[in-house]
Amino acid sequence: MLSFAAVKKKYIMKKIKIIAVVFIYTAITSCAVIRPGEVGVKQKLGILSEKSYMQGSVWFNPLTTKVIKTNIQINDIELSLSLPSKEGLSVTAQISILYRIDQNSVPKVINSIGLGYETIISNVFRSASADVCSKYFAKDMHSGMRAEIENAIKVKMEETLSAQGIFVQAVLMKSIQLPSGLSSSIEQKLQAEQDAMRMIFILQQEKLDAERKIIEATGSRDAQKILSEGLTDQIIKIRSIDAFIELSKSTNSKIIITDGKVPYLIE
């Protein structure tokens, strides 16, 4: 049978173990780890602190305080929706919205919007895209004007979100599906433009070829004219005599028949 002193000692040791466990648990739960790309904000008794904590450890009283962590990296929201065009058509588009939270505005974002800010961003985009796209024709969204439309939507969104501490990095219209009838019309127009450009090229080649033939004909005519004007009877006679002399110098046996004007050679 244990003595009173032994029982008391055992009770004290058990109490010390309980206190140690409580202390360790409290120490563990009193530390929040803020990872890279996050910002932490303390909320004590429901009141949000205006101070933000960057990556590292943050100590707090778990009985009265908690740490709210928010991602401040660039995030992506994917949307698929129909956009109105200037002529009243609906254009189906796959959209990516790249955004980030300003690290110095995290307390403000949590206070005014909360952690469900992606819903707010999506709604702001729907409104901004409807305003912007209604000023453009459907074919513009499928052409080189897409970048202009994307930037206009981004600027429109920033008018609402920047003041709240949310920065829109880019709006990307990744996939555009035009109404089938319009797509066919655009393809036919592009084909017609290519055919017209091909015909212009052919006509230019034909024109250049015709000009070349005219230049050749003109040169030949001028050469014949110059030659005919220069060949007088006296020149022809002199050339005949020169030819006669050259033929007479040849060592080959031959018979030269001439009327005194033009030599004829028979070998």
pLDDT in tens, 179-224: 665 555 655 665 667 767 778 888 888 888 878 778 877 777 766 6
pLDDT tens digits, one per residue of 101-138: 988 888 888 888 888 889 999 999 999 998 998 888 87
Q: Determine the distance from the C-alpha atom of residue 180 to the mean position of all C-alpha atoms in its chain, rounded to a whole number.
A: 25
Residues 263, 243: contact at Cβ < 8 Å? Answer: yes
Q: What confidence score (pLDDT) does residue 224 get? A: 66
- Orientation of helix 146-161 relative to helix 117-133, angle to 10°: 130
Instruction: Tell the CATH superfamily of the 75-178 domain.
Output: Band 7 domain (3.30.479.30)
Alpha carbon dihedral 236, 240, 241, 244, in 10-degree steps, equals: 170
Amino acid 196 reads: A
- Which among 100, 97, 77 is positioned nearest to 150, based on CA atoms? 97
Task: Specify the higher pLDDT residue, 174 or 62.
Answer: 174
Indicate the domain borders of the chain. Answer: 4-71, 75-178, 181-223, 233-266
Q: CA 194 to CA 199: how far, in whole Å?
A: 9
Question: Which pTM was predicted?
Answer: 0.56
pLDDT score of 154: 94
Percent with pLDDT over 70 in the chain:
65
Coil/strand/helix, residue 267: coil
- Whether residue 170 is predicted with pLDDT greater than 90 in this model: the reply is yes
CB neighbours of 50 closer than 8 A, spacing ≥ 6?
Answer: 107
pLDDT for 83-92, tens place per residue? Answer: 888 877 778 8
